[in-house]
Amino acid sequence: MKKWWSLSLIAFSLAVLALSLSPRAARAADAESEKLASLGKALRYTLKTTGPASTIDTGGAAILIKAPLPTVRKIVTSYGSYKSFITSFDQSRVLAKRKGTSEVYLQVPILNGAAHIWTVADMSPPTKDGADEVISGRHKRGNVSDFRARWRLRAVDEHHTILKLELFVDPKLPFPPSAVTTQLTRAADKAVTAVRNRAQSEAPAGARPSTTAAAVPGAPASAAPSAPATASSAPATASSAPATASGGAAPAAQASEQGRANAAPAPSEVASEMPPAEDDSVRRHKDMARR
């Protein structure tokens, strides 16, 4: 009985510990995605190189992509097309495939194109590492001492993915380690940014943010055609102006005619107001009366 209680207590403690750690991990993941979202571009970083160690630090970059993880994975694993959209590579070819592993030839210009470094590397199939999917590349041969690449993909939700690339190259040239690391972080930045741009252009319509007013849900369908209707009503309003002007001219003409009628009487009316003319008989009677 006492042993049973001890086992129950241990199980309960482990369950409480798991519940307490899960929100912390979720909060950490959310904090990373929020930081990358607010940055709006790739975040560069460096890591100490191990396994084996080197004086050259590994250069890395992380970015938030508004696209589902499968879309991002498809682009990351299209090794043969790197040269078409990642400016860091001027050559990329898949030489062979064996059990999910791709043998890839990569060539990168250095010294402003005056020289090139190249490698043939084995790129592993995606494997799970906690919440991440990891794709690793290991150097096989080339004109460099060592080459390592590691892609990390994590789904934030069904429409957002965090992508990271960590690069290490040990060239057979007398470059300062810090200068090599600076070039590695810059190359990782260009690579994850290029993948983001392509993934967001290929993402399903539902995963891309709406940028036009017509795509906003709930927008009235009659909003766009209202402008032509208003424009078409303008000629009708304009055409009514002449009719109104002619209608307003008639009362003015009538008023002027009435004014002229009151100011200048008709000839017949003027004649009726004058005394009548005398005839011959009237004049004769007047002459006889004066005599």
- DSSP code at position 221: T
The string of pLDDT tens digits covering residues 117-164 is 999 999 999 999 999 999 999 999 999 999 999 999 999 999 999 999
Long-range contacts, stretch 116-120, CB < 8 angstroms, 24+ apart? 116/90, 117/142, 117/143, 117/144, 117/169, 117/171, 118/91, 118/142, 118/143, 118/144, 119/143, 119/144, 119/147, 120/95
Taking only Cα atoms into account, the Rg of the chain, rounded to an integer number of angstroms, comes to 47
The string of pLDDT tens digits covering residues 191-218 is 999 999 999 998 776 665 544 433 333 3
Can you give the pLDDT at residue 193? 98
Which residues of the chain are modeled with pLDDT < 70? 1-29, 205-291
Can you give the pLDDT at residue 78? 96
